[in-house]
């Protein structure tokens, strides 16, 4: 069972880098740990423990954004929101192609947790990192960039707040070109249990989101039966396979459109098995495809959700295992425990593993280099039963028995690599940027690298 968690912490909101430096020095002096936060969107226990310092950069002043259009690099200060950064880049005709649909997260938090969007050829947003400016564990200001410090950048792409207080992040950007955005509905059975249909959608489009809302395909009798049940359990006749998925697809415009940006028009979408669907399309800039509104559907309680990354295979049979398990868990659990919330929301995306990212969860990918990313309230069983699946760093997972051993087993040598680089560069020699959850996860690797137990 999940439980309410809280901690009494010292809360610091420095306005300048000098104040961050002072704070780190004071923390060292008093033996306190410091955990930086972005916009506090993550649902996993990444934050400060009781009695430690939570460091919030929302008041940090300075040059909020910069753009080097020649090198296609843009930077964002730790106090800026992702939406503000994307507005800035859009005004300058560039963008990052893909990011999680969280306008009020920070670039630092998105990168730190390997959060991702739906751009298939990409991995998490972290893959775009080019440079970081941070205050390290001894209070020194450090700058690292990909040309001079490839290993540090690879390690600090997904940093979990363990590499320093990152006050400025520079990422690679691309031209903000026009994309076609298409939506249609399809029965779960007709898409999700047809690997050829899924493979075609994943391999032949630039971006894809599949949004699932349980019970939306129920008949009137099934709705009445559920509403009449004291626990709101769906009747036996209901199956999630008859529910409707919303398919959201985006593709680069090929130069032939006669439609204006923002003008919606009807279309027919044909799946691989030649079934046709009434769709709606419009053209938007690439940056506008990032913050899709699904996360803000009425009555969606996302904080119950767990997200997982699982392997995909060339014939798409790996995701078939995951998908089958996913819908079985949904059917069994809703029929057993009832629908106590108004909405049960799930999400599927596919992304590609990119090298040079030490703690990217896309590392679970096999030789096909592709992973399935899926999310659901009850995905606990789904995730654990799928080979090698790992939870997203930002989602709830700490109440799952055995989860930390599972994560350590899957990441294995990547944890060692991360700690080795972090130590080699003296980013945090006294481990002041740790908390109890991270110590549990990383302890063996820290010890191997020479940290005494008492320091942890
Ligand atoms: C409505 C909603 C929708 C979401 N959709 C998606 C999605 O589509 N895809 C997806 O992958 N995720 C999704 N998430 C999860 C979300 O992307 C992450 O929780 C988010 O990226 C974290 O950003 P944040 O700024 O809030 O960081 P926080 O949660 O505050 O921090 C995250 C981590 O980064 C570290 N950190 C933050 N700032 C700094 C800094 N300045 N220096 C050093 N370390 C730092 C923290 O210590 C922590 O370890 C969603 C969350 C919500 C609430």
Alpha helix stretches (DSSP H) within 140-215: 150-156, 188-192, 195-203
Q: From 35, 43, 100, 304, give the residue whose CB has the most ligand 1 atoms within 8 Å, as the site to mutate.
A: 100
Q: What is the DSSP letter of 68?
A: E
Mean pLDDT over each residue of the chain, to the nearest integer: 91
> What's the 116 CA to ligand 1 centre distance in angstroms?
10
pLDDT at 231 over 90: yes
CA–CA gap between residue 118 and residue 33 (Å, rounded): 35
For residue 121, count other CB atoms closer than 10 A to its CB.
Answer: 13
How many angstroms separate the Cα of 3 from the Cα of each of 19, 42, 393, 400?
Answer: 35, 16, 18, 12
CA–CA gap between residue 149 and residue 142 (Å, rounded): 11
| Contact in structure between 249 and 208 (CB atoms under 8 Å) | yes
Angle between helices 317-337 and 195-203 (to 10 degrees): 110
> What's the 159 CA to ligand 1 centre distance in angstroms?
11
CA–CA gap between residue 363 and residue 368 (Å, rounded): 11
Establish whether residue 160 lines the binding site of ligand 1, counting it when its CB lies within 6 angstroms of any ligand atom.
yes
pLDDT at 346 over 60: yes
pLDDT at 235 over 60: yes
Q: Report pLDDT digits (tens) over 56-67.
A: 999 999 999 999
Establish whether residue 76 lines the binding site of ligand 1, counting it when its CB lies within 6 angstroms of any ligand atom.
no
* Per-residue model confidence (pLDDT) at position 1: 44
Per-residue confidence at 373, pLDDT binned at 50, 70, 90?
Answer: very high
- Per the listing, tokens 């893909």 go with 98
Q: Report pLDDT digits (tens) over 251-293.
A: 999 888 888 989 999 999 999 999 999 999 999 999 999 887 6
CA atoms within 13 A on the CB side of 259: 18
Query: Hey, which residues does 391 pair with through a beta bridge?
Result: 308
Q: Which two tokens stand for residue 24?
A: 């780190």
Buried b (16+ CB within 10 A) or exposed e, 139-169: beebebbbeebeebbbbbbbbbbbbbbbbbb
User: What is the pTM for the complete model shown?
Assistant: 0.93
* Per-residue model confidence (pLDDT) at position 299: 44
Q: What is the DSSP letter of 13?
A: -
Q: Report pLDDT digits (tens) over 56-103.
A: 999 999 999 999 999 999 999 999 999 999 999 999 999 999 999 888
CA–CA gap between residue 66 and residue 72 (Å, rounded): 11
pLDDT at 427 over 90: yes
Q: Which two tokens stand for residue 310?
A: 């699982």
- What is the position in ligand 1's atom list of the atom closest to the CA of 116? 11
Q: Are strands 306-311 and 34-37 parallel, antiparallel or unpaired?
A: unpaired
- Per the listing, tokens 């009555």 go with 299
- Per the listing, tokens 């204006």 go with 260
Q: Who's near 254: CB < 8 A, 6+ residues apart?
A: none
pLDDT at 378 over 60: no
């Amino acid at each position: 069972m999940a439980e309410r968690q809280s901690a009494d912490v010292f809360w610091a909101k420095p306005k300048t880098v000098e104040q961050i430096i002072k704070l780190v020095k004071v923390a060292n002096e008093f033996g306190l740990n410091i955990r930086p936060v972005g916009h506090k969107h993550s649902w996993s226990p990444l934050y400060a423990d009781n009695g430690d310092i939570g460091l919030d950069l929302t008041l940090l002043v300075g040059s909020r954004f910069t753009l080097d259009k020649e090198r296609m690099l843009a930077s964002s200060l730790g106090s800026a929101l992702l939406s503000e950064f994307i507005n800035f880049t859009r005004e300058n005709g560039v963008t990052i192609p893909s990011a999680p649909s969280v306008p009020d997260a920070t670039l630092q938090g998105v990168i730190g947790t390997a959060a991702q969007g739906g751009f298939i050829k990409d991995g998490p947003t972290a893959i775009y990192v080019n440079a970081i400016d941070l205050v390290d564990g001894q209070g020194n200001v450090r700058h690292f960039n990909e040309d001079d410090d490839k290993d540090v950048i690879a390690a600090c792409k997904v940093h979990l707040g363990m590499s320093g207080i990152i006050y400025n992040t520079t990422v690679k950007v691309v031209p903000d070109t026009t994309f076609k955005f298409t939506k249609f509905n399809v029965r779960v059975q007709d898409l999700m249990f047809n690997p050829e249909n899924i493979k075609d959608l994943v391999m032949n489009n630039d971006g894809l989101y599949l949004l699932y809302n349980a019970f939306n395909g129920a008949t009137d009798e099934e709705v009445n039966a559920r509403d009449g049940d004291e626990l709101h359990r769906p009747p036996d006749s209901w199956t999630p396979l008859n529910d409707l998925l919303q398919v959201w697809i985006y593709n680069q415009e090929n130069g032939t459109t006669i439609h204006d940006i923002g003008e919606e028009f009807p279309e027919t979408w044909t799946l691989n098995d030649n079934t046709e669907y009434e769709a709606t399309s419009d053209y938007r800039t690439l940056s506008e495809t990032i913050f899709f509104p699904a996360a803000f559907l009425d009555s969606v309680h996302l904080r119950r959700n767990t997200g997982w990354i699982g392997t995909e295979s060339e014939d798409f049979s790996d995701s078939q295992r995951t998908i089958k398990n996913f819908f079985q868990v949904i059917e069994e659990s809703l029929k057993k425990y009832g629908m106590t919330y108004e909405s049960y929301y799930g999400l599927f995306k596919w992304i590609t593993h990119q090298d040079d990212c030490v703690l990217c969860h896309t590392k679970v990918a096999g030789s096909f280099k592709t992973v399935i990313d899926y999310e659901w309230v009850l995905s606990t069983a789904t995730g654990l039963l799928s080979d090698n699946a790992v939870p997203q760093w930002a989602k709830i997972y700490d109440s799952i028995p055995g989860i930390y051993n599972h994560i350590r087993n899957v990441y294995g040598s990547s944890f060692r690599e991360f700690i080795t680089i972090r130590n080699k560069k003296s980013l945090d020699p006294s481990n002041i940027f740790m908390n109890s959850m991270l110590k549990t996860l990383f302890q063996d690797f820290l010890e191997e690298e020479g940290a005494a137990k008492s320091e942890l």
